[in-house]
């Protein structure tokens, strides 16, 4: 039976300042599904949010630093996938289906995680020119 799930993730800059996020997905998820997602993550936990169409969390920290800093990088961290609460189902926008989420991570990992897709890579490449 299809259900709603929440994928929780975070962005932690090099200074260990954290911003948390979550997306709502619909479909079927098993322990095998979660193990497969983790298999595609860099070092079992990191991903480039832009590469898998998951909202980035950088801007939550930029509010305190007035924009990108040298502590910023491209990777977000996978935390967990859990059943969504009724309140989350009613209040969150649906990201998509669980099958699409898995396929998106699968495709990204086959191309390897591409930091060039992150705004941070573009900002620091430009600054170094």
Q: Is the pLDDT of residue 18 over 80?
A: yes
Q: What is the pLDDT of residue 124?
A: 43
Choose between 81 and 73: higher pLDDT: 81
Mean pLDDT of 54-72: 82
DSSP helix/strand/coil, 6: strand
Exposed e or buried b per residue across 101-111, where buried means at least 16 C-beta atoms within 10 angstroms of its C-beta: bbebbeebbee
In this prediction the pTM is 0.87
DSSP helix/strand/coil, 83: strand
Tens of pLDDT, residues 30-53? 999 999 999 999 999 999 999 999
Residue 127 banded pLDDT, cuts 50, 70, 90: very low
Whole-number Å distance between alpha carbons of 118 and 18:
17
Residue 88 banded pLDDT, cuts 50, 70, 90: very high
Tokens of 43: 């070092």
Whole-number Å distance between alpha carbons of 47 and 62:
20
Q: What is the pLDDT of residue 43?
A: 92
């Amino acid at each position: 039976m299809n259900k709603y799930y929440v994928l929780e993730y975070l962005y932690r800059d090099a200074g260990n300042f954290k911003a948390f996020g979550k997306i709502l997905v619909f479909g079927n998820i098993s322990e095998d599904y979660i193990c497969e997602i983790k298999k595609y993550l860099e070092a079992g936990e990191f991903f480039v949010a832009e590469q898998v169409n998951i909202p980035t969390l950088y801007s939550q920290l930029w509010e305190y630093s007035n924009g990108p800093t040298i502590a910023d990088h491209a990777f977000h961290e996978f935390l967990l996938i859990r059943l969504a609460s009724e309140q989350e189902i009613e209040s969150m926008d649906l990201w998509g289906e669980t099958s699409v989420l898995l396929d998106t991570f699968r495709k990204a990992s086959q191309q390897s995680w591409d930091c060039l897709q992150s705004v941070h890579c573009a900002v620091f490449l430009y600054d170094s020119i």
